[in-house]
Amino acid sequence: MTSFGRRHVEHTSMGDRVQRMGGVSRGGSIAGDAGGVGGVGGVATVVRPGAYTTLQDAGRTGYRNLGLTVGGALDLDAMRLANAIVGNPPNTPALECTGVGPEIRFDRPVCVGLCGGDFSVWVDDEPVSVGRPLWIAAGSLLRIGAARSGYRLYMSVRGGFCVDDVLGSASTLARFGIGGWAGRPLSAGDRLPFRQTAEPPNGRSLRQETASVVSTPWRIDPDVFRPDLVDADGHVVLRAMEGEQYPLFDADAVRHFWASTFVVDGRSDRMGIRLKGSHVPSQAGSMSSEPVVPGTVQVPPSGEPIVLLPECQTTGGYAKIATVIGADIRVLAQLRPGDRLRFTRVALDEAVQLRKRRFAAIKALMMEIQTHVGDI
């Protein structure tokens, strides 16, 4: 990710075209009915739900001692940036798409933000690129296809979806039917109200992309959502610290763990990523329940590690050989079945430094976006 810090916002060379267009045409298919119904901006109707699409925000904190997982967006940076580009507060609930996204029709004009993995996206039949705000005309169909790279894409709408918080969060915890949209992933026919219709403003820096889409000439550099570290073979390298039972693994097991390449198994979900392709001999066995965190790498008796994600259980009983550092949780979120990865060891100080550096970079990017969004 060499460009990071220098090229957050990629300026395309479309400035002259914007000039020629003399700003944005407010006529034609962009013009929709202004205003909302009953205090609601509009309705997003789910035509196809995608592989697994849920409403997520920053998660539910404060209930882990009652067995309730934090959950929330797995790639928090992507969710927050999706909100930033439409001018929302960073933790506004957004849709998390997994592998293949949904098709959604809007009954009113809307401003949508898409950030995260590199997914194919169309509005009606025209391809559009992600990482920037898209003003979509009323009646248009947003079609989020398959991921070309990465695995999770976040979709925000300006003003946010109208959903109630449950225990302080709108995150969907589908396993227990808690929060989000009816406590479950989206299904065809769902009608999600959103708060705000959004006509494209008379911004001098906007351009008409297609008949029904207006966007900005800038977008977020897709590298922001890619892993920090990739080895010579193109495998993702996850930085991890020694886990709570690290000393219980013998020298061979430990060497094997740090040296092996693992493959992401298809039986992975929001709770955790199952790894295959290499076995870590475990003498540590099981222990009585003790706390786990997102990033915890457990080794069950089978020897195939499980890396926990933000929707993991609060406690677990398998031996924990390592913990993926906080800065790399968002990298885990973008791994898809079949991806190859390995682990590299870091100490606490480095982990904290990396987290601070990532946070500072994302914050700077959000500030920059704000000036661009404010400019529109």
Interface contacts to another protein, rule CB under 8 A: 61-69, 166-167, 175-176, 178-179, 240-241, 243-244, 288-296, 313-315, 323-326, 348, 351-352, 355-356, 359
> At closest approach, how far in Å is the CB of 172 from another protein?
12
Which of 47/287 has CB closer to another protein? 287
Beta-carbon count within 10 A of 191 CB: 11
Q: How far is CA 293 from CA 35, 88, 272, 302, 303, in A?
A: 44, 29, 11, 21, 20
Side chain identity, residue 105: R
Enumerate residues 6+ apart whose C-beta is below 8 A from 232: none
Cβ of residue 61: shortest distance to another protein, in angstroms?
Answer: 6
Residue where the block lists tokens 């298919």: 29
Q: How far is the CB of 326 from another protein (least distance, A)?
A: 5
H, E, C per residue of 282-347: CCCCEEEEEECCCCEEEECCCCCCEEECCCCCCEEEEEEEEEECHHHHHHHHCCCCCCEEEEEECC
Q: From the CB of 181, what's the least distance to another protein, in Å?
A: 15
Smallest separation (angstroms) from another protein to the CB of 36: 28
Nearer to another protein, 64 or 340 (CB): 64
Residue 362 · residue 85 · CB < 8 Å = no
* Four-point Cα dihedral 347, 350, 355, 359, nearest 10: 180
Residue with Cβ nearer another protein (87 or 93): 93
Nearer to another protein, 95 or 308 (CB): 308
Element (H, E) at 243: none
Hey, what are 247's tokens?
Answer: 């000393």
Residue tagged 């009646």 (tokens): 139
Question: Which of 166, 263 has the CB closer to another protein?
Answer: 166
Residue number, 144 or 173, with CB nearest to another protein: 173
Q: Which of residues 149 and 289 has its CB atom nearest to another protein in the complex?
A: 289
What number of other Cβ atoms are within 10 A of residue 131's Cβ? 24
Contact 340, 261 (CB under 8 A): yes
Q: For residues 4 and 222, give the distance between their C-alpha atoms in angstroms, rounded to a whole number.
A: 10
For residue 270, which of 142, 145, 99 has the smallest C-alpha distance?
Answer: 99
Please state the closest distance from residue 156 (CB atom) to another protein, in A. 23
**What is the smallest separation between the CB atom of 224 and another protein, expressed in angstroms?**
19
- Around 105, how many Cα atoms within 13 Å sit in the side-chain half-sphere? 10
| Shortest CB 325 distance to another protein, Å | 5
As measured in angstroms, the least distance from the Cβ of 119 to another protein is 29
Shorter beta-carbon distance to another protein: residue 1 or 354 = 354
Tell me how crowded residue 287 is: count the other CB atoms within 10 A of its CB. Answer: 14
- Residue whose CB is less far from another protein, 36 or 168: 168
